[in-house]
Structure 1
């Protein structure tokens, strides 16, 4: 579990560092510019880390599935070698997905205007700026994004369905409580991640939706990575007690 969490933390840090420094710099400047190469590099690494995190969350749910449904075999099934292979596969999926989208963007021409209606370089606002036909890019984006989301979501839903059945069949209330505690942090992280991503990308292409997408993209790319450490830290008893004490102190005053 901690091996997967360390990689999740690494991806969150890298994803935020891809966007946040440039965005914070732009907030303090009157003329907000980015070079064409810099925009493509920002987009490339953003897709690498974002896609890798999607698959890593799916790998983590398999870890939770084995821990709850086959606890006696956990040490055998979730071996260090399997963990390394799963994480390596997540990074490989991110690299391949980014290369495919980057290759499509490099085939486009950008003659102007060069105003990106977003806080960072992403596919939808870049396709709007292209002076060439973007039909193939849109199809590739829908196919690959749809494949990544559907594949990982099916794995997550199927795993949690088996976990729910296993928890219901448990005779011990303590066992059910421990099983729910084991999955609560990951389920919360997955829910926040996918809900914010859905709000950011699954909107009609109107002016109001563009503005709301810009706001939701900040939550999806910056706020969610900040929430993950808090979500997983709440499993620690010392952190729980400290948080409760702070809340009580605030309410008292």
Structure 2
């Protein structure tokens, strides 16, 4: 069995890492490179830089961060936020990132998934999806624009389309759980994983180490993404992996 991945996510605004609840109420929690280096030392499996205001900022800002991250980190780096074109993919990957995460752009131009996977390989293409349960409980809708706009797309139809176009993995965030620390959305994760065969990363709702153990025990997700748990020093990645190992969950450990 492949080792499960523990992935800290750094939401970046104006060059700083920020954290909020349900996509709002952002607080500054520090320098992205210094924080990422700390996670690297703790044996994180990869790290995600998400430039949450990239649409409004000069691209050079994130390019410098990618170059610094690539030169100072030993773990894979995924970058997302504001990517709209295949040229954006080229810039981010040539700056040293290992993967590119796209969200809104994939919905507006699904062929971008195919273009990127054809040119760079499926392993470079991550489709990030923000989804929320419908009020009538009939399923899940996909949102864009930082969770502000309901696309009307059905989550399951969309993940199947992403897989068919060449997405290498899905980064699935539950908007209902984001920042609440109430645990991952197990039902939504299992619904998606029953629909696709590509790796799925769980995101949204991690409040403690047990939540990560639970998501690996109750779903077949390939990785768990968290922010607050690590940013505020409530647990280290080493501690998470130690607890996973106690529950016979395969993880990569420092030797």
TM over 0.5: no
The answer to which structure has the higher helix fraction is 1
Which category describes the TM-score, using the shorter chain as reference length?
A: under 0.3
TM-score, length-normalised on structure 1? 0.27
Q: Tell which structure's C-alpha radius of gyration is larger.
A: 1
The answer to which structure has the higher strand fraction is 2
